[in-house]
Structures are given as structure tokens and as C-alpha cells.
Structure 1
Amino acid sequence: MFRRLLRLGLTALLTVTTVGGAVAISSPAQAALPHCNGAGVYTSTWSGARGATAWIPAYVSSTINFNCLLIRGDHSSGVGELQRTLTGIYSRYLGPNGVDNDFGGYTQSALRSVQADIGISADGEYGPQTRDNLCWRWTGSDNSCIWLNNNH
């Protein structure tokens, strides 16, 4: 009986998904957010960079939702935008393939390194906390960036 209750409790706390044959366990917060399947244009409203734009990962359907996740194994233009920011703004190495829209080991390692440098949880996963704390590559520039959270 205890094992059954424990199993039911764990099922309620965790969501299990299959990604390319591998099993991924997500926390409830992750399970509530969609995976970024593309990218969208963010336009700054901050007075210091009003009108500046940056492409950032997004869940794209009939609308654009910037509240999404990227994890190892994901493949999309959103991964590519994250990679462009990691290389262009934060000077991280993404392996021999560079920006390839694939969230693999090099991207995960680069993201962990940047997360640690900017003082947030270095879990190697992209979500709202990472989105809000990265300085995103300004459209048309390789090394200028804008913040989504204007408190920086």
C-alpha cells in the first residue's frame, strides 16, 4: 500500500515525457510551459533602447508566446537565437558546428556557464528566469544587446 501511495505521489509531482526515445522527467513548473518551437521579435520599450529589437526563443502558434522552455534535445530557430546570443554576446564556444539550431551538449554547457556568470540557477535549461536575465543579441548586430528586463 505504501509503495502504491508513493508511486501515485511521484506521478503527481513529476511529468514524464519521451524525447527521441529518451525519457525526460520534468518538474510541474516545466510541464506547464510549452517548448519553444521557434523565435519571435521582441521590441524594447525601455527609454535607453526604445524600438530596439531582438529575436528570442518563443512558442509560435496563432500567437507568439515568449514564456517557453528549451532543453537538451530541442531543435528550432529559437535554439539558434539562444546560440547566437551565447556566442555573440557571451563569447561561448558551441562546438565545431557552432549555431546549428540543435540544443546539444555544447549548447547546454555554454548555457550553464552563462547562467553561473549572471548569477542564476545554472541548470543548463532555458526558461523564463534565463530569458529575463540574458542580454539578447540586438537585431543587426553581432555584439550589442538589449535586456528584456529593464532593471539591469
Structure 2
Amino acid sequence: MKRPLAALAMTAVSILGMMTVAPSANAADGTCTSTTNVWRSYNKNNYVSTVPTTGSGSTSCIMQQGASGYHVFVLQYTLHFCHGYNIRMDHQYGPETAAAVRSFQASKGLAADGIYGPNTRNALSWRFYVTDGSSLACWRL
């Protein structure tokens, strides 16, 4: 009788352990280190935007203070042109970018931690261009 109860207890502990460490649906796939193009069609025009990604191409990524590169510039550009934040677009995720991300997050009712992640990405409107360069728009992904 003791062995079946011990086995049942171990199974319960294993299941509960998996439930507590399972990632949430909004968990990121890694750190943003690159970019990719996202395409949309509207009124017979093709629009393209560039968004941050992991090295493997997932748009579900995280950026925070200390990051640098073109992927940071893309975020800064979107914060500036689509959301009105007057920040330097210097490819550096410094205190100024973190403050703009915090302010944006707070304005959307998100946890205002200054870290760009999947929830922030989904709330942002990104700068899209018609592929012939004739028009601009800001849309959510």
C-alpha cells in the first residue's frame, strides 16, 4: 500500500511542478538580436514594416537596457513616429528608451517595467511603408 501511495504522491508533485514552471502564452522565445520584415496588403497596396526578432526570426523576443543595434533603432523609430515619443534614435536601449517604453506600457495598462516583450510588441503600432515608397501608416501587427 505504501508503494502505490508514494508513486501517486511523486506523480502529483511532478505534475504540480510542471504546472508552476510552464511558460505563459506571452513568454518570449529569447532576446531580440535581429529584425525581419512583416507584410500587409491594404487597398491594393503592399505595405512592409521592420520589427525586432530573435536570431532565429521569432518576433516574440525581449529587449531591455543595455541592448544595442538595428533592432533597438526599429523600436525607437516606432516609438517616435507612431506614438509621439521624442527620443533619440541612436541604436542604444538606454534610460531614455526604457523610459519611453515604460510610459507606453503604462498608457496601455501593461506592467510598466521598461522591458520590450511580447505584450508590448502586441500593443505597439508599427510604421508600415507602401513598397513603392508613396505612403506611410502605423498599424498593429
Which residue number in structure 2 is paired with residue 33 of structure 1? 29
Aligned residues: 117
RMSD: 2.9
Superposition deviation, residue 49 in structure 1: 8.9
* AA in 2 matched with 1:38: S
- Encode CA deviations 1:28-74: one digit per residue, 9 max, x unaligned: 779963111111111236x679742211111134xx11111101101
Unaligned regions of 5+ residues in structure 1, if any? 1-12, 14-27
In the superposition, the TM-score normalised over structure 2's length comes to: 0.70
Query: Which residues of 2 match residues 2-151 of structure 1 at below 5 A?
Result: 33-44=29-40, 51-61=46-56, 64-94=57-87, 98-139=88-129, 144-148=137-141
Q: Which structure has the bigger radius of gyration? A: 2
Q: Secondary structure at the match of 1:106?
A: helix
Quick one: distance in 2 between partners of 1:89 and 1:43? 17
The whole-number CA distance in structure 2 between the counterparts of 1:142 and 1:109 is 30
* Residue deviations 1:59-108 (CA, integer Å, cap 9, x gap): 134xx1111110110112111100001111111122xxx11111000000
Q: Which letter maps to 1:52?
A: Y
Compute the displacement of 1:132 (Å).
0.8
